[in-house]
Amino acid sequence: SSIKMVKICCIGAGYVGGPTMAIIALKCPSIQVAVVDISVSRINAWNSDQLPIYEPGLEDVVKQCRGRNLFFSSDVEKHVSEADIVFVSVNTPTKTQGLGAGKAADLTYWESAARMIADVSKSDKIVVEKSTVPVKTAEAIEKILTHNSKGINYQILSNPEFLAEGTAIQDLLHPDRVLIGGRETPGGQKAIQALKDVYAHWVTEDRIITTNLWSAELSKLAANAFLAQRISSVNAMSALCEATGADVTEVSFAVGKDTRIGPKFLNASVGFGGSCFQKDILNLVYICECNGLPEVAEYWKQVIKVNDYQKNRFVNRVVSSMFNTVSNKKIAILGFAFKKDTGDTRETPAIDVCKGLLGDKARLSIYDPQVTDDQIQRDLTMNKFDWDHPIHLQLASPTTVKQVSVVWDAYEATKDAHGLCILTEWDEFKTLDYKRIYNNMQKPAFVFDGRNVVNMEQLREIGFIVYSIGKPLDPWLKDMPAVA
Ligand code: UDX
Ligand code: UDX
Ligand code: ADP
């Protein structure tokens, strides 16, 4: 028998493409995996000791496989033309201009990848949508490929990735499910089977779900919308808790005990961030509007509105607590990433909170264990359009914000500060020496915990005035003007 070595190529070496391909390479020694990207610096980083993304466990996996059956290359065309299965994992930011601006997905990168595949292919290919895309993107891609096909047979599959950052490796190793959508034709079913065979190296059959193309595409948008909705639901409750004296942690716990609801993903916070939730919901809203479903669109829009409300509410709480002004006051920001265990800052609530405080003329001293000074300065100076688009395609070099300093230590950040805000739930913030921090701060010293990581009682005993999301208010905060 002729067992041909399967070759996989993934276009896009980002947060999704990199880790996903590393795990495929780890689990499938008989498959050769090439990850390609137009960003040469990103590929160089993947080939170095300093990987371009921080993800627990990733480095180990990459070191085991790199050079064996896992390769990172900027020779996009070569690897695409040799591959049997091409994953497309390029970025799909929200459109900033033209039709659907602010809502629709910008498929520029996707389209150019598809055209490139059509240009360089010499053999049949399975093309897999990995990055989240609007429903019916597969159809558009199919058209681009088949209209330029030169007799080559393409099968399009949708195989959305459900990994969360910070836990990507564990999520990939033990997925709740793998979802594969394809055409209901014999050719489509054969392609589904080929991709199933890849995952079957480590995922049991009962966790591999196959559907039609549209169901797979929509399931990804729906899953992210449901997850974000849970957070907006609990965050909306947190405002009511503060107003009534209920404790959101107790409410979440009691509600989550209902097995129909479940205990996970019910942590109140300063707001959700990340590259997916807002973008995917905006996308869903746009798709609903285009399909004549304004009521459905309105329903999902509320999830984003509540998230924006939560971020604003936090800023207002800080300002109102501190005698209605933070002008020229030093405020320490602990945590800038959108969640713990990642250096990713895309859509992080910290951007809006910091901009809000800067708007009130605060001086910020920011510490995050994984986010660089450059990144923070970029996030705070650039407008949304710029940071939605890949850095390497940008020409302008960012200026720095004068009132912002980025430091490498929580104690440094809080020294002489009037208040501190915790915006990411890094484990290390639970075990800081808060007595020492208190002694080095201006008095009264305020803590605004946007992630409910500190022990309020202990901090109050030390002398802090403490605000935690959705918790009974300090008498001090109760006397301050109501927060909108
Ligand atoms: C999400 C989905 O979880 C994942 O399945 C999908 O593939 C991509 O989008 P990610 O954005 O990486 O993953 O992280 P996630 O853990 O979902 O957190 C998103 C945001 O919600 C973070 O800002 C997080 O802090 C916040 N969050 C999460 C809460 O505020 N409360 C919670 O209870 C859970
Ligand atoms: C509900 C709560 O479930 C229960 O915990 C509370 O004490 C009282 O209110 P009940 O109204 O008796 O109980 O029935 P439930 O099974 O929750 O169904 C409520 C409605 O939702 C029904 O009309 C049901 O048909 C509908 N439903 C339920 C759906 O349409 N889809 C579902 O997936 C579940
Ligand atoms: P995600 O979080 O979805 O993985 P990223 O922005 O981290 O998104 O990664 C997407 C990657 O895709 C970027 O590194 C970008 O340079 C790359 N990319 C975009 N368009 C192309 C293309 N046409 N060919 C190759 N790589 C591309």
Separation of alpha carbons 302 and 281, rounded Å: 10
First to last CA, the chain: 72
Residue 109, phi then psi, degrees to nearest 5: -70, -35
CB 209 within 8 A of CB 237: no
> What is the pLDDT tens value at each position of the chain, 484 positions in all?
446 689 999 999 999 999 999 999 999 999 999 999 999 999 999 999 999 999 999 999 999 999 999 999 999 999 999 999 999 999 888 888 899 998 888 889 999 999 999 999 999 999 999 988 888 888 889 999 988 778 899 999 999 999 999 999 999 999 999 999 999 999 999 999 999 999 999 999 999 999 999 999 999 999 999 999 999 999 999 999 999 999 999 999 999 999 999 999 999 999 999 999 999 999 999 999 999 999 999 999 999 999 999 999 999 999 999 999 999 999 999 999 999 999 999 999 999 999 999 999 999 999 999 999 999 999 999 876 554 444 444 444 456 788 999 999 999 999 999 999 999 999 999 999 999 999 999 999 999 999 999 999 999 999 999 999 999 998 877 777 655 5
User: What ipTM goes with this model?
Assistant: 0.95
Collapsing DSSP to helix, strand or coil, 438 comes out as: helix
Measured from the Cα of 267, ligand 1's closest atom is 33
**Short-list 428, 381, 421, CA closest to 400:** 381
Six-digit token string for 190: 């054969």
Ligand number with the minimum distance to the CA of 16? 3
Ligand 1 atom closest to the Cα of residue 271 is 30
* Long-range contact pairs involving 455-463 (C-beta distance under 8 Å, separation at least 24): 458/434, 459/434, 462/434, 462/435, 462/438, 463/438
Beta strands across the sheet bearing 125-129:
70-73, 32-36, 7-11, 85-88, 125-129, 154-158, 178-182, 208-212
Residue to substitute in 16, 88, 91 for testing ligand 3 pocket (most ligand atoms within 8 angstroms of CB): 91
Residue with tokens 């208040």: 419
Return the ligand number nearest the Cα of 255: 2
What single string gives the DSSP state of each residue in 66-110? BTTTEEEES-HHHHHHH-SEEEE----PBP-SSTTTTTSB--HHH
> CB count, 10 Å around CB of 248?
24
Pocket of ligand 3 (CB under 6 A): 11-17, 36-39, 42, 76, 89-91, 109, 112-113, 131, 275, 390
Rounded to 10 deg, the angle between the 373-381 and 349-359 helix axes is 60
Sorted by sequence, the CB contacts under 8 Å of residue 44 that are 6+ apart come out as: none
For residue 53, the SS3 value is coil
Amino acid making up residue 329: K
Q: Is 277 exposed, middle or buried (0-12, 13-18, 19+ CB in 10 A)?
A: buried
Residue with the smallest CA separation from ligand 1 atom 25 is 339
Ligand 1 in reach of 340 Cβ (< 6 A): no
User: What's 32's DSSP letter?
Assistant: E
Active site residue 276: yes
Distance CA 380, CA 352 (A): 9
Question: Which of these is catalytic: 9, 276, 288, 421?
Answer: 276
